[in-house]
Structure 1
């Protein structure tokens, strides 16, 4: 037997597995690295976050990714090179994190890598029914495995699409296994570049759990800040809070076919971007707005899509709790607007469920890798519109 296959078999037999989950989102701020201790599988899964850090990307690295990110016309040589380069960089960042934590690589069983999304193309977004649903995450797992010496599971979204899904969001799988509750109806809201939630009905409900994208989270605000201020984000909503939302532009932004689709659904920066903003400014005659007013309007737009989505799902329900994770949690104006729009809801940080909200997505990929190794598809067979599968490709380091 190949020694690496034998090693993987031994890992699967262990009572506890130490898995590093990786997440790099559409915000391109950095790589989330979460060292998780996992035991069991399915609804018996137990997760403990051992160590976590977000390793910030260098500006030159972000610039490279932006050459291909959410663009239809790209240089294929750069895309090909970036697939290897991102894998190399992520491998080095893992090694840096382990050194910082004082953890030996020998103590780690697996890496679970989401990769860097560069294009998301479900048919519902492209309206091209000749080509199937597709999505592309780069940062090759073989490079990560080789540079760290650790078995790596990566490219999770492809199996979801192959089995009939749209490739996103995948959060429902881990959320359902870890955070379902007998009494609460839970909305696990993640505000990254795109906002999404997982709906977890209480244990006595006949409803099914599912995950859905809602619309823009931080992506349009971040794109605008980069273009007009050469900053990655509007830290503490400093600029948005000096402006005023423009009602005509806000109404135009909300006129999107996607926003009226039923749940679950998926989208990305391929739709919600600065070209979309320009189109809506022209449509509403608001080309002369101040930058601060545009930022305020974009923040209100994100908040309204989130509020309306949560209201739509939870109408008529009692005992609803909203737990927030993702970079948008650190935008005080966005969180204030969400709370104002949902005045009778319990709204809190994901900390309340015992997990660092910034680490949540990276941890969920560690859970997916754990299911790939020791779980069964039946563990997630009741999630609405999501194929019952185990996901990920396995890369050996040697």
Structure 2
């Protein structure tokens, strides 16, 4: 076999797709990585807050804070807002480093194989987190697993992968961090204007995406809320609704003979008319959903602690709340003593001075300060002293 024939039989080296531009370099990757790292850090911390408010460990359930009343609204708004911004940042980051994702040969040593594995884990977990989070705020779940535990678990994988990546790439990051870093001297001077243009465009894209989505939680910007799946003023009685009465299986038959059961040392039950005859309290509180939207509203009803006292509950008692809905992960909810005893935690009967609409939980629902919306149980049927 001749030499030319042998050369023709050798496998051709795969080539990555070619994008125009000269900015697939460490300097660009570092510049974008600073913003992306900050966005992921905010998402991770606020995600932990959201998860542990929804699913507190047993030792912390009774000590979760009910103040500030707007705390969850801010933290979850930050979580969703920075998560959406991170999608733009992640795409540009992958664009900047993509040639390194296709190096040949793919594995040159054991150390190189481990580094490649860590990068693959980082990219996969980061892409999963931001895009699954985006689908969650749109309430579209095209997967067979439960979103909350998987999203939470992969967040830890992504956080660990980012820290490992920073540790491995620390010398290169340090060399390209600042404008006067020694590592930047080797870069072509003519790339500077292009890189600045790229970063300005990236900043404009992040700003545009943020301004057109953050209005779902920052109500002064509601007029700019063009891309978010929720508008804070759209829905029955001026509030959005995630789960309607029909979707929850709460119809006229379930409400016909409704009475609130309060179980404790001195159990009793009350009709809605009897609840309205009790001392009423009004409170202006935000309702903040895990999908990122939040609205402040005027709620009226009876303090939960007054209902518990009437049932003979001890001062440190918690409460279990059961809904009329026929199914769902949050049909039964437990509330620790801090929330149960807070003077602003209400069994709400009215919204904006009007009776609750069916989709907002008629005949009664929970409203509490600094509480995720999924735990503001609607269509309450029973309160049980724990």
The structure having more radius of gyration, on CA atoms, is 2
Higher strand share: 1
**Which fold has the larger relative contact order, with Cα–Cα distance below 8 Å and residues 6 or more apart in sequence?**
1
Same fold (TM over 0.5): no
Higher helix share: 2
The two structures have a TM-score, normalised by structure 2, of: 0.25
